[in-house]
Chains A and B, each alone.
Chain A
């Protein structure tokens, strides 16, 4: 691996001043489970690594029923998965985080790293989009918010400027009778990258769907928010035919490629299959609440 310098700032302010001094040459290191592989392969060559794990603001994990969930960008997935409030209120997010790699990876990887890596196939990104999560971004000049669906601009690239870092995610509090779900398809049982991943979150009032968000992974250069597909369910009961119609709308926005993991046609087909499955499961979970 090329020569680097490693910094472990003890506060957000310190991290931001390091970042504004190094600019393009610096990069935040969360768990390193993607970045260090890319550095070993010579794909990314940051000169300075700034350890996100040492920044307390990036390690926040808190929930309350008014404001919802705050997840620091560097909170390890193993901590997220075990959190009782997250397990109770955001099962789809737990499903997505639990699908990343092995226990060895989960002890290091994070939602922030998964998103900032910019992969179209990141498992936790569709789960966050379905939940309407918002990214809080900071630089030494100030802060801004970005919806998760707007964060990745092309494979490996995000909206973050050289002097900015992702601090945390804010996820809205769950409404009564709402629930989420994430599923992906891989040819193996574990330890693989999604061929297709789909997330959904629904809210019910009696039998009627009052809100629905659907998101797709690995079928476009970036994770997608299938806005129309979700909107098509609002005001209707969630049954086989409304779910099939939403799945067809989700398929329309998928623009997958053919690669070793699957053909474009197959991926498009799987968008339909998984969208129906996650909507059905999310609806069952919402009804059970």
Chain B
């Protein structure tokens, strides 16, 4: 056991956890932040994507202790009060999700992309988002949503 100290969505958090706690379980079960989903559990589907000091990581194959002293951003941290993040609004507006299970991971990966590349080409979006699987949408709408958010189209 150890006391983990970090910031989650801008708020300081201190929690006692065992060393083998996975980051995804820490977020979902210790903090109740169930927006982050677990799909494949082997780092392949991207559903569990969160930002660790701004970098996209698969929280199913990260230990919570690895986030000690870091800033973690989850899907719950994107909206400001009642105002959804432009990516969230674009996914709604442009049909970027159906069942929604992959969506928090899609949006966190897309946020990481737009943070480093605010105006990505379609090919850059496709390359970056390759690690986020979706069984529903066929991907076209996800890419359209990210492009719309990047262009600030209809999502203000």
Chain A residues in the interface with B (C-beta under 8 A): 1-6, 8, 29, 32-33, 36-37, 40, 49, 51, 53, 78, 101-105, 107-108, 189-191
Instruction: Pick the 5 closest A-B CB pairs, nearest first.
Output: A102-B131, A107-B55, A6-B19, A190-B130, A36-B61
Mostly, the B contact residues are mixed
For A6, give the chain B residue with the smallest CB separation: B19
Q: Which residues of B contact A105 (CB under 8 A)?
A: 43, 58, 131
Q: Does B155 contact A (CB under 8 A)?
A: no
Determine which of A6, A36, A102 lies in contact with B46 in the assembled complex, contact meaning CB atoms within 8 Å: A102
Q: Is the CB of A3 within 8 A of B130?
A: no
Given contacts A37-B42, A191-B130, contact A104 B19 (CB under 8 A): no
Q: Is the CB of B128 within 8 A of A103?
A: yes
Determine which of A1, A104, A191 lies in contact with B49 in the assembled complex, contact meaning CB atoms within 8 Å: A104
Best-surrounded residue of A4, A101, A102 (most CB of chain B within 10 A): A102
One of B62-70, B83-91, B145-153 contacting the partner: B62-70
| Least distance between A160 CB and chain B CB atoms (Å) | 22
Q: Is the CB of A107 within 8 A of B63?
A: no
Q: Is the CB of A190 within 8 A of B62?
A: no
Q: How large is the interface on B (under 10, 10 to 19, 20 to 34, 35 or more residues)?
A: 20 to 34
Q: Which residues of B contact A107 (CB under 8 A)?
A: 52, 55-57
| Least distance between B50 CB and chain A CB atoms (Å) | 9
Q: Is the CB of B109 within 8 A of A33?
A: no
Q: Which residues of B contact A33 (CB under 8 A)?
A: 43, 58, 61
Q: Which residues of B contact A36 (CB under 8 A)?
A: 22, 61-63
- Contacts A37-B42, A104-B57, A190-B131 known; 4 new A-B pairs at CB < 8 A: A1-B20, A6-B63, A32-B61, A101-B131
Q: Does B34 contact A (CB under 8 A)?
A: no
Q: Which residues of A contact B55 (CB under 8 A)?
A: 78, 107
Q: Is the CB of A103 within 8 A of B61?
A: no
Assembled-state Cα–Cα distance A107/B112 (Å): 11
For B22, give the chain A residue with the smallest CB separation: A1
Given contacts A3-B20, A6-B19, A32-B63, contact A102 B41 (CB under 8 A): no
Q: Does B74 contact A (CB under 8 A)?
A: no
Q: Which residues of B contact A103 (CB under 8 A)?
A: 56, 109, 112-113, 128, 131
Interface hits, B28-55 → A, CB 8 Å: 41-44, 46, 49, 52, 55
Q: Does B18 contact A (CB under 8 A)?
A: yes
Best-surrounded residue of B43, B63, B68, B128 (most CB of chain A within 10 A): B43
Given contacts A189-B130, A191-B44, contact A104 B20 (CB under 8 A): no
Q: Which residues of A contact B68 (CB under 8 A)?
A: 8
| Least distance between A107 CB and chain B CB atoms (Å) | 4
